Amino acid sequence: MKRFEIENTVIVPALAMRGLVMMEKMALHFDVGRKKSILALQQAMANDKKIFLVAQKDVMTEDPKPEDLYKVGVVAVIKQMLKGQEGVVHVMVEGLCRAKIVEYLEQNPSLVVELQECTVSKRRAVTVEEMEALMRVVKSLFESYSLLVPKMSKDIILEALSQDTPEGLFEAIAYNIMIPFEDRQELLEANSYYKRLKLLT
């Protein structure tokens, strides 16, 4: 299968994730056991190592169809892929960009999708003062949250509290807190950093 671009879209193999939501710029380790998903990984490795990671709505669904998957996910690059025991594959990926499914081109033997990149807007829909006020609220809430999580690294806390941009603050916090995958998907789908930070609160 060749990867190619037409009219600002890209065609890549896709992998349905159970209980996990990938974010842009996030590094993630996970195990893959489904044959369809392993084949998608192999196809990606045979080309440019890029794969589309998209969460499925119900973790109990064994063979998800298009209607069982969210439309927005993340194009990631495979950094490491190791075979484990009993057919399980250990994977390390790094998120590149957010994308939306335009069309499913193949469903068997593996998922292949046509995607369109959808970047998060950095344009301010609010005043500088409103954004700064929201960032102060988010930092305050995160500081309180960190006191309830004894195992949280002090480096993570200090990094988050030192951020001076909306995107930096969002990434420092959203990537390091434990939340249900449905909530993380909502954060992924938000189209501005102001909306992302509001959801984070």
H/E stretch holding 142 reads: helix 128-147
Burial status of residue 16 (CB atoms within 10 A of its CB: 0-12, 13-18, 19 or more): buried
As a dihedral over the C-alpha atoms of residue 124, residue 129, residue 135, residue 140, rounded to 10 degrees, the angle is -160
* Mean pLDDT for all residues in the chain: 92
pTM: 0.90
The pLDDT value recorded for residue 126 is 84
The pLDDT value recorded for residue 124 is 64
The pLDDT value recorded for residue 3 is 45
H/E stretch holding 46 reads: helix 35-46
The pLDDT value recorded for residue 7 is 58
CA distance 168 to 180: 22
Nearest CA to 59 out of 27, 18, 116 is that of: 18
The pLDDT value recorded for residue 121 is 78
CA distance 78 to 94: 7
Q: How many CB atoms lie within 10 A of CB 174?
A: 20
Kindly report, residue by residue over 102-150, the tens digit of the pLDDT.
999 999 999 999 999 998 877 667 899 999 999 999 999 999 999 998 8
Q: Residues in the chain with pLDDT < 70?
A: 1-7, 123-124
CA distance 61 to 148: 33
Q: Can you say how many angstroms the Cα of residue 142 is from the centroid of all Cα atoms in its chain?
A: 21
What are the strands, taking DSSP E only, across the chain? 5-6, 9-17, 27-32, 50-55, 72-83, 89-106, 111-117
CA distance 150 to 131: 29
